[in-house]
Amino acid sequence: MRFALFGNTYQAKKSLHAEQLFRLLEQHQAQLCISRDFYEFLCKDAHLQIPHADLFDNDDFQADMVISLGGDGTFLKAASHVGRKGIPILGINTGRLGFLADISPEEMETTFNEIYEHRFRTEERSVLQLKCNNPHLQKAPYALNEIAVLKRDSSSMISIRATVNGSLLTTYQADGLIVATPTGSTAYSLSVGGPIIAPDSKTIALTPVAPHSLNMRPIVICDDREITLDVESRSHNFLVAIDGRSESCQENTRLTISKADYTIKVVKRFNHRFFDTLRNKMMWGADLR
């Protein structure tokens, strides 16, 4: 098999996990290509001896499977480069919480044995697409987690007029609005009171950020709907964040959000289930007294 590797380029102390990964891939006689920025980080910052591997930039690679070594942020970066290639992504979690990257370093050996025995499954995760007249946002308009509209600074709240398939939903007076996939429901949206949504539910969640009115609650809609947002701001601009990548927009920028025409494939072990991950990560039922 041929693997393409993306990794976290900020924490050299976690490079031991990369060494373990290289040993496992070598044992399986795997072909390897590595994102150039991660390769340079491992060589210069972590001072690792890297086995022979091809290097690539951005999305210029082909592989049977992509490996993301880091946290969910690293997984999102890998997913943005995979795009519509249809290559499944395996997330090895060296971060903290990890809903997308949910394979622990201790599980790596068993996981790769299962992969080579074809004992794994893939989950297809929906992606959001943003359309607008901002050229910077249109360079990378796809989000696996969420598209967030936010006030740019500490000034007063913004006004977001939201329509769904042309019908008025409401006008949010808030610090922002998060439009999230089921995958993103356990990310930014969850932190501001949004609902947790099962990954296969074919829905989109709209969650306001610090709304002016307490009766303005999150709403979940079918993912075949098109959402249009028109924003007004006293500063005449606002931020749009696509999976954390943010750009400033002028208030006359209309945002149209819909489900993209491709999905991201996430590699899962057979014994890893969403509700199990949820209980473990959220510590549901744990008695912390």
Domain CATH number, residue 249: 2.60.200.30
Classify residue 175: in a domain, yes or no.
yes
N-term to C-term CA, the chain: 48
Model confidence pLDDT, tens digit, residues 167-198: 999 999 999 999 999 999 999 999 999 999 99
Classify residue 136: in a domain, yes or no.
yes
User: Is 276 considered catalytic here?
Assistant: no
Is 189 annotated for ligand binding? yes
Query: Are residues 151 and 116 both part of a single domain?
Result: no
Give the separation between CA 220 and CA 206, rounded to whole angstroms: 6
Is 145 annotated for ligand binding? yes
CATH number (domain holding residue 85): 3.40.50.10330
Query: Are residues 148 and 113 both part of a single domain?
Result: no
Is 7 annotated for ligand binding? no
Classify residue 289: in a domain, yes or no.
no
Query: Are residues 245 and 204 both part of a single domain?
Result: yes
Q: Which of 54, 60, 72, 287 is the catalytic position?
A: 72
Query: Are residues 209 and 248 both part of a single domain?
Result: yes
Query: What was the pLDDT predicted at 214?
Result: 87
Query: What was the pLDDT predicted at 99?
Result: 85
Query: Are residues 115 and 132 both part of a single domain?
Result: no
Query: Are residues 65 and 174 both part of a single domain?
Result: no
Classify residue 43: in a domain, yes or no.
yes
Model confidence pLDDT, tens digit, residues 30-81: 999 999 999 999 988 878 888 788 999 999 999 999 999 999 999 999 999 9
The C-alpha angle 178, 6, 93, rounded to 5 degrees, equals 70
Classify residue 287: in a domain, yes or no.
no
Q: Could you give the C-alpha distances from 216 to 5, 157, 173, 200, 273, in angstroms and in order?
A: 42, 14, 9, 26, 32
Query: Are residues 37 and 109 both part of a single domain?
Result: yes
Is 185 annotated for ligand binding? no
Tell me the whole-structure pTM to 2 decimals: 0.93
Q: Which two tokens stand for residue 172?
A: 């949010």
Classify residue 288: in a domain, yes or no.
no
pLDDT at 84 over 90: yes
Is 77 annotated for ligand binding? yes
Query: Are residues 138 and 176 both part of a single domain?
Result: yes
**Range(s) of the domain holding residue 210:** 128-260
Model confidence pLDDT, tens digit, residues 86-133: 999 999 998 777 788 889 999 999 999 999 999 999 999 999 999 999
Any idea which residue has 């997984």 for tokens?
75
From 66, 57, 69, select the one nearest 8 (Cα to Cα): 69
Query: Are residues 273 and 191 both part of a single domain?
Result: no
The domain tally of the chain equals: 2
Q: Which two tokens stand for residue 209?
A: 């950020």
Query: What was the pLDDT predicted at 216?
Result: 94
Query: Are residues 134 and 225 both part of a single domain?
Result: yes
Query: Are residues 105 and 172 both part of a single domain?
Result: no
Query: Are residues 98 and 58 both part of a single domain?
Result: yes
